[in-house]
Amino acid sequence: MSQTLFKDETPEIDQQIRQELITRFLAFMDDESVLREDEDLFPYESDGLAVYRQKPPLVVLPETIEQVQQILKICHELKVPVVARGAGTGLSGGALPLKNGIVLGMAKFNKILDINTQSRTAVVQPGVRNLAISEAVSDFNLYYAPDPSSQIVCTIGGNVAENSGGVHCLKYGMTVHNVLQVTAVTIEGELITLGGTADTQGYDLLGLIHGSEGMLAVTVEIVVKLLPKPNSTKLLMAAFNSVDVAGDTVAEIIANGIIPAGLEMMDKPAIVAAEAFAKCGYPTDVEALFLCELDGTDEEVQEQLQQVESLVRKNNATVVHIARDEEERMQLWKGRKSAFPAVGRLSPDYYCIDGTIPRRHLSRVLQQMNIWSEEYGLRIANVFHAGDGNLHPLILFDANIDGELERTEELGAKILELCVEVGGTITGEHGVGMEKINQMCVQFDNDEITQFHAIKNAFDPDTLLNPGKAIPTLNRCAEYGALHVHHGELPHPDIERF
């Protein structure tokens, strides 16, 4: 386990309280739904960020909303922390268990309750897999737009908690733009409905619960918006001898009034790795490559495809290729979508960063990363949601080499702080969780962090829902004491930094 970032200083759960929880939970749940033996608990010790581990003292697996209400009421009464969990694919340690709290596993809430093809909505339970929604409505020519790369396994409840994105965000938005209503249970056990299928009044609590990382309420039912499948979809691949030119070309496409459905860029190390892994037809003798997907009506797609093609040719793309058919389109996407495992083959371990930057600073950020990469002796491969500025640098390392994980974390932290410095954010779609909690102190000042705690206080005054995640304590920020770049104000603005 990494010691540099994650130190769980909470005490172990009181054994008497643990026993009382078991007894009271068993009064309304069957034996298999209250996990308490080590062998049953170990699978829950981490989420998708497996470098952080903590065996939970207890895991409960309710299957009705009433059970969730009862569990939360009991935990509220006994002041026991609760970590809600979907499929455990989160990449920031948001579902990392606590020594003194229970894990509330939502896996049994796995049913699609209703599909309305006329209103184009679906009512789903939080444990339904993201992709399962699109599969269930595919025959009706509909789909659910947000597509995080873990969509085969990740759950919609987790997507709400993290406000998950994917490769189609620029045009179709993130989870918050595609969910109409969330039914949730508060720590007091009260059932609340946020948002609705009509335009609702009052504060946008639906917006607030998205990305709240399980810290405000526990989601038990979700109404999602379904979209008609586009009539036409085309994919253009363009390769360049310079990352800068590729980035400039992306800006030109958007300046020309085109909003691609997907616009994904990779640098050379990522291209080479993806091609070796997926054999998808990427040129490997180039510095940068992007995939530009256009969708809409036949006429619209045809017009925009011509515009994009002439732009990339004008900018001297070395390779321009339009997928001939659906099979080739999927093949070209396969390379991008397998970039993570592909990079994983190059190195025993990799660490994925999730910063977002204003796109105009891409080349500055990449150059600085190259300098640090050499300084730290750690290779970096870059995949980039170029349309929306979300960077995923993958730092390659070997956890078995003494100190390498710590150096990787340090490099990752520097990259995130650079993202903030150029006007971006430490996390575009993976969440803060446990992983980026120190960098929150860089992005926000003490008053802002205090206001975040105030929001939590409105929902959860005893701080029982996923405590310690996402929002750092002021003490923690004081300890971190990093080079504080805030609101673009640098400590020494006169020093040239790039």
Partner 1 sequence: MNHSTNHHDISEALQAQVSRAAASKEKLNIKGGNSKAFLGLINPDAAVLDVSQHTGTISHEPTELVITARAGTRLEDIKQTLKAHYQTLAFEPPAYGHDATIGGTIACALAGPAKPYFGGARDYILGCTVLTGHGQILKFGGEVMKNVAGYDVSRLMTGAMGTLGVLLDVSLKVLPATSHTTTLISNATAEEAIEQLQALGGMGLPVTASAWHNNKMYTRLAGSAGTVAAAAEKLPGSESNEPEFWLQLREHTLPFFTRPESRPESLWRISVPALTPPLSIAGEWLYDWAGMQRWLVSSADANDVRNACSAVGGNATLFRADKNMMQSTDIFQPLPVPLMKLHRRLKQEFDPEGVFNYQRLFPEF
List the beta bridge partners of residue 267.
288
Among candidate residues 353, 483, 476, 409, the one with its CA nearest the CA of residue 8 = 476
Please identify, using beta-carbon distances, which residue of 72 and 278 lies nearer to partner 1: 72
Decide the pairing of beta strands 179-185 and 380-385: unpaired
Single residue of 51, 65, 112, 208 touching partner 1 by CB under 8 A: 208
Q: Which of 14, 77, 298, 375 binds partner 1 (CB under 8 A)?
A: 298
Binding residue (CB under 8 A) for partner 1 from 8, 53, 65, 207: 207
Nearest-approach distance from CB 62 to partner 1, in angstroms: 20
453-472 residues near partner 1, rule: CB under 8 A: 454-459, 470-471
In the bound complex, what is the minimum distance in angstroms from residue 205's beta carbon to partner 1? 7
Binding segment for partner 1 (CB under 8 A), chosen from 122-130, 209-217, 317-325, 473-481, is 209-217
Q: What is the DSSP string of 402-436?
A: TTHHHHHHHHHHHHHHHHHHTT-BS-SSS--TTTT
Residue of 37, 38, 402, 447 that binds partner 1 (CB under 8 A):
447
Give the count of alpha carbons within 13 A of 87, CB side only: 23
- Interface positions, 384-413, toward partner 1 (CB under 8 A): 385, 387-390
Q: Is 139 in the site for partner 1 (CB under 8 A)?
A: no
| Cβ proximity to partner 1, 146 vs 269, nearer residue | 146
Contacting partner 1 (CB under 8 A), which of 43, 228, 283, 377? 228
Return the number of the residue (298 or 374) whose C-beta is nearest partner 1. Answer: 298
Cβ distance to partner 1 smaller for residue 43 or 228: 228
Tally of CB atoms within 10 A around 265: 28
Q: Is 93 in the site for partner 1 (CB under 8 A)?
A: no
Q: How far apart are CA 468 and CA 452, in angstroms?
A: 13
For partner 1 (CB under 8 A), the number of binding residues is 92
Q: CA-CA distance, 97 to 270, in Å (whole number)? A: 33
Q: Which residues inside 359-388 make contact with partner 1, applying CB under 8 A?
A: 359-360, 385, 387-388
- In terms of CB distance, is 102 or 169 closer to partner 1? 169
| Closest to partner 1 by CB, 226 or 274 | 226
Interaction between residue 65 and partner 1 (CB under 8 A): no
Residue partners of 203: CB distance under 8 A and separation at least 6? none
Give the tokens for residue 415: 């990259």
Please, what is the minimum distance in Å from the beta carbon of residue 263 to partner 1?
11
Residue 372 and residue 383: Cα distance in Å, rounded? Answer: 17
- Beta-carbon contacts of 465 under 8 Å, excluding residues fewer than 6 positions away, are 81, 82, 84, 187, 214, 215, 216, 217, 218, 459
Backbone angles phi, psi at 253, to 5 degrees: -60, -45
Residue that has been written with the tokens 């903030």 in this structure: 420
Q: Which residues pair with 295 in a beta bridge?
A: 233
Identify the residue among 87, 133, 169, 415 touching partner 1 (CB under 8 A).
Answer: 169
> In the bound complex, what is the minimum distance in angstroms from residue 389's beta carbon to partner 1?
5
Return the residues of window 316-335 that contact partner 1 according to CB under 8 A. Answer: none
Shortest Cβ distance from residue 441 to partner 1 (Å)? 11
CB of 30 to partner 1, least distance (A): 29
Q: H or E segment at 17? A: helix 15-26
Distances (CA, A) of 32 to 35, 54, 346: 6, 21, 41
Phi, psi of 405 (to 5 degrees): -60, -40
* Contact between 149 and partner 1 per CB under 8 A: no
Q: Which residue has the tokens 């109409």?
A: 180
In the window 232-251, what residues touch partner 1 (CB under 8 A)? 251
Which CB, 377 or 488, lies closer to partner 1? 488
State which residue, 129 or 385, has the beta carbon closest to partner 1.
Answer: 385
Q: Which of residues 23-42 bind partner 1 (CB under 8 A)?
A: none
**Beta-carbon neighbour count of residue 126 at 10 Å?**
26
Give the whole-angstrom CA distance, residue 238 versus residue 228. 28
Give whichever of 110 and 233 is closer to partner 1, judged by the CB atom. 233
CB of 99 to partner 1, least distance (A): 25
HSE at residue 67, side-chain half, CA atoms within 13 A, is: 18
Binding to partner 1 (CB under 8 A) within 338-357 occurs at: 356-357
Residues 6+ apart with CB under 8 A from 36: 22, 57, 58, 59
Site for partner 1 contains 14 (CB under 8 A): no
Residues 266-285 close enough to bind partner 1 by CB under 8 A: none
Smallest separation (angstroms) from partner 1 to the CB of 223: 10
